[in-house]
Structure 1
């Protein structure tokens, strides 16, 4: 039986996500798109690229601290939306939120 295209896409991302380090994301198209929007945040391409590179550096340092399941899920989620560029900032935020939820759940169990 052939694997559905969506399942194949997601499974290919999962292989990348559990690797020794963060995936290689092509975030530049997303930064170009943001630079064209009129937002209240700094929409400059240069600022966006700097934030993405900073997030990638932080992910590189902290990657092993996150669970493999969370890494897989967060990378898959940032690659899910067609036409939207993936983002290291989104992956990092997703992983930090997952860790916060786990920490909160652990604290609540101790009470």
Structure 2
């Protein structure tokens, strides 16, 4: 089944547009799901720690966003939607690995 050139151009445009700014993730939901997998008396503290880690990672992403290449953003952002809820910590790690690889 051949893919038309216009479909490729449109698809490429969507990836570039998605990489223009730091994506918006629902960290409350992500953290609640992560913490739900744990047990113990410190569930509230675990949730607070998760949200705090995610917020710090997002702040770091915002400040470092221009340093990351468009190709690394195009590789890492879609990975965050695989297998669960996205994470700024995971996205930052992925993008930093591309920086270190240069």
TM-score band, normalised by the shorter chain?
Answer: 0.7 to 0.9
Q: Could you list the structure 1 runs, at least 4 aligned residues long, displaced by more than 6 angstroms after superposition.
A: none
Shift of 1:35: 1.1
TM-score by length of 2: 0.74
Output one character per residue of 1:46-75: Cα deviation in whole Å (capped at 9) or x when no partner. 111111110000000000001011012111
Contact 2:77 2:91 (8 Å CA) reproduced: yes
Residue 101 of structure 1 is matched in structure 2 by: 101
Match of 1:61 among 37, 60, 63: 63
Are 1:74 and 2:76 matched, yes or no? yes
Once the two structures are superposed, residues 17-55 of structure 1 have per-residue CA deviations (whole angstroms, 9 ceiling, x without a partner) of 2x1x3111122222001112238xx86111111111100
Counterpart-to-counterpart distance in 1, 2:71 and 2:53: 25
Secondary structure at the counterpart of residue 86 of structure 1? coil
Classify 1:13/1:31 alpha carbon distance in 2 versus 1 (closer, same or farther; 3 Å). Answer: farther
Q: Does 1:49 align with 2:51?
A: yes
Runs of 5+ consecutive residues of structure 1 not aligned to the other structure: 2-7, 103-111
